[in-house]
Amino acid sequence: GNSVTQMEGPVTLSEEAFLTINCTYTATGYPSLFWYVQYPGEGLQLLLKATKADDKGSNKGFEATYRKETTSFHLEKGSVQVSDSAVYFCAPNTDKLIFGTGTRLQVFP
């Protein structure tokens, strides 16, 4: 079946540090790929998406590139802020979104 694997958290960084959160997936067919973010006390919000191989999704300084050959969609940001502290979910979508456990990011000033 379809599944997603993310690096375990928490990821703890100082402000302005570089962020990478790894995501690999298994899926039948050709999924679209999404990153969702969950800020404390809130629901899941779309952060970015990519719908075909080599597409790069980007939003709020975050980027992720659809790598079909490695079935990966790693999330990166060049300089994180305290306000980026949240839980991040990678989610492939064939006919529904499949989520993993998420990766908690904690950014300290």
Task: Report the interface residues with another protein, using CB under 8 A.
Answer: 31-32, 34, 36, 42-46, 49, 51, 89, 93-102
Between 32 and 65, CB nearer to another protein: 32
| CA dist., res. 28 & res. 96, Å (int) | 12
- In the bound complex, what is the minimum distance in angstroms from residue 52's beta carbon to another protein? 9
| CA dist., res. 58 & res. 60, Å (int) | 7
Mark 57-72 as b/e (b = at least 16 C-beta within 10 Å): beeeebbbbbeeeebb
Between 17 and 27, CB nearer to another protein: 27
Taking alpha carbons only, the member of 43, 71, 45, 39 closest to residue 59 is 45
- In the bound complex, what is the minimum distance in angstroms from residue 80's beta carbon to another protein? 23
Between 55 and 63, CB nearer to another protein: 55
- In the bound complex, what is the minimum distance in angstroms from residue 23's beta carbon to another protein? 13
Between 18 and 39, CB nearer to another protein: 39
CA distances from 74 to 2, 38, 83 (A): 17, 17, 20
- In the bound complex, what is the minimum distance in angstroms from residue 37's beta carbon to another protein? 11
